Chain A
């Protein structure tokens, strides 16, 4: 019989301080510009009201990551791998973000071949999820079926003056065991959180409908507004596209290889020789984003890439809304 625990809210700080002594702990909090994002725990105030504006993606798949150092040795080269094996804990990850981590796991660890840079970071990562208790702005996780966390180690659910703690993995169990004196055993059952998402996206046959309406006029209309600023792909917790480039170290023959985030919203994304662009028009780039999220990815993995966090809707300066595009196209195809 699975044991459940309670963690009193006043003990939370103590718990996080203890954790940060043995690992890098990332918690949702405000940064210097008052944006909510995941920052290393340093006794700061936590932001637990709703999901953060920025996801913990940047820790799992950094915006700029050094892959190799190539050292020139007379006429040959010595190749050194740079792997990040630090121990990390994510605290207060929402359901949508745990699903985004699942997407990245599938892609980087299972699809075709595993990616060792991602694996190194992912291997020693503990995820402490936090159940949402109210709808967030623009979120539509219930429509995407991502409202129940996956792949986490512990699940916290807010219950009056404490957190109800559900153990979800062996790693989670070990963690509670280690800090047993901070947790109180309880006979309560998991509190149900009842709320309705602020947005909805009808997903039945969505892939087929979008595939059929590849040249729908809606794409052109939305593209007229689109600034191609790539904000949507940057904040998306499941956008994973990257590019790689080399850089010389000063005047030596040594060089480094980097991996950096790329975005399908930028023209250069599909450049090939002789400056030919496959997706040159804004319309085609915007379509690529929406189609990849709701249709293309599903073909290979069986579930959509979009996790319904609504961050792309929230961040878009001109108000382009993925759910609105999908529902307009669905409405017209009836």
Chain B
């Protein structure tokens, strides 16, 4: 049996909520500690900062040169790099600035932060990412899953399944029929359709699938009478970059 995995948790620009979610693992967190040793993490009081790592779990996006430098240094030290949560995988909330008009973007500059090209970037823009843990915040059962898989030498791969698939499994009525614009058809599943099950629309926090038929969904929203501006906001809420350009043209 291989030794314990050495893991480190790191936060770039984000709310650190994903790291807190680790505690939602409850007893499973203790089970995970049987084969994962947390050596470097502010929240878990890691004892050996700066050490070589098997897994680096990075949350948050890159908003400044400081973040970028930190990220590159982490990549050097680890074997697998896991992007943790929406900010790290798809920029998420901090990325809203990317979709804002230029003049407002400039006002957002603060002295302490040296922006990277005035924009927020997902970590995959600068380093190779081995596995993705999507969601805002990330999902507990998936975190454990990634640990188990990496322990056995499997690099987890995303399965391209839309949220609708899991929403139907949970036997929910479709929100699109109730006039609620839901991004389920184009968003990665894995959340067990958490929001639609509570009758709230999916806002795409797990990222958009490559296969999604965005044009058809946009048309559907229009037919439902959703104002153009609102459609734009919804699509760019969590996933600004792929859509800022495409939607502006429309």
Q: Are A263 and B148 in contact (CB under 8 A)?
A: no
Q: Which A residue's beta carbon lies closest to that of B161? A: A266
State which size class the interface on A falls in: 20 to 34
* CB within 8 Å of B: which A247-295 residues: 247-251, 253, 261, 263, 266-268, 282
B1-23 to A contact mask, C-beta < 8 Å, 1/0: 10000000000000000000000
Q: Are A317 and B176 in contact (CB under 8 A)?
A: yes
Q: Are B216 and A33 in contact (CB under 8 A)?
A: no
Min distance, Cβ A120 to any Cβ of chain B, angstroms = 21
A203-234 to B contact mask, C-beta < 8 Å, 1/0: 00000000000000000000011111111001
A113 at the interface (CB under 8 A from B): no
Which residues of the partner chain A approach B160 to less than 8 Å between Cβ atoms?
A: 266-268
Which residues of the partner chain A approach B161 to less than 8 Å between Cβ atoms?
A: 230, 266, 268
Min distance, Cβ A63 to any Cβ of chain B, angstroms = 5
A53 at the interface (CB under 8 A from B): yes
Q: A33-B199, A248-B148, A317-B220 are in contact. Are A231 and B213 (CB under 8 A)?
A: no
Which residues of the partner chain B approach A282 to less than 8 Å between Cβ atoms?
A: 213
From A35, A63, A228, A229, B173 is in contact (CB under 8 Å) with A35
Q: Which A residue's beta carbon lies closest to that of B223? A: A318
Residue of B152, B161, B164 ringed by the most chain A CB atoms within 10 A: B164
List the count of A-B residue pairs having beta carbons below 8 Å apart: 97
Which residues of the partner chain A approach B169 to less than 8 Å between Cβ atoms?
A: 58, 63, 234, 261
Q: Which A residue's beta carbon lies closest to that of B197? A: A33
Q: Are B173 and A53 in contact (CB under 8 A)?
A: yes
Q: How far is the CA of A263 from the CA of B186 in the complex (A)?
A: 15
From A33, A227, A253, A268, B172 is in contact (CB under 8 Å) with A33
Q: Are B213 and A250 in contact (CB under 8 A)?
A: no
Q: Are A227 and B174 in contact (CB under 8 A)?
A: no
Interface majority SS on A: helix, strand, loop or mixed? loop
Residue of B35, B165, B185, B217 ringed by the most chain A CB atoms within 10 A: B165
Q: Are B1 and A227 in contact (CB under 8 A)?
A: no
Q: How far is the CA of A123 from the CA of B154 in the complex (A)?
A: 38
* CB within 8 Å of A: which B121-179 residues: 145, 148-149, 151-152, 159-162, 164-165, 167-169, 171-174, 176-177
Q: Are A317 and B174 in contact (CB under 8 A)?
A: yes
A27 at the interface (CB under 8 A from B): no
Which residues of the partner chain B approach A227 to less than 8 Å between Cβ atoms?
A: 162, 164, 185-186, 212-213, 216-217, 220
Which residues of the partner chain B approach A230 to less than 8 Å between Cβ atoms?
A: 161-162, 164-165, 168
Q: Are B165 and A33 in contact (CB under 8 A)?
A: no
6 examples of A-B residue contacts, CB within 8 angstroms: A34-B173, A227-B213, A230-B161, A250-B32, A317-B174, A317-B220
Sorted nearest first, the 3 A-B pairs with minimum C-beta distance are: A234-B168, A251-B35, A229-B164
B-side interface residues toward A, CB under 8 Å? 1, 31-32, 34-35, 145, 148-149, 151-152, 159-162, 164-165, 167-169, 171-174, 176-177, 184-186, 197, 199, 211-213, 215-217, 220
A-side interface residues toward B, CB under 8 Å? 31, 33-35, 37, 53-54, 58, 63, 224-231, 234-235, 247-251, 253, 261, 263, 266-268, 282, 315, 317-318
Further contacts, 17 of them, CB under 8 A, given A54-B171, A227-B217, A231-B167: A37-B171, A54-B168, A224-B216, A226-B216, A227-B162, A227-B220, A228-B212, A228-B213, A229-B165, A229-B184, A230-B162, A248-B149, A250-B148, A251-B151, A266-B161, A317-B177, A318-B216
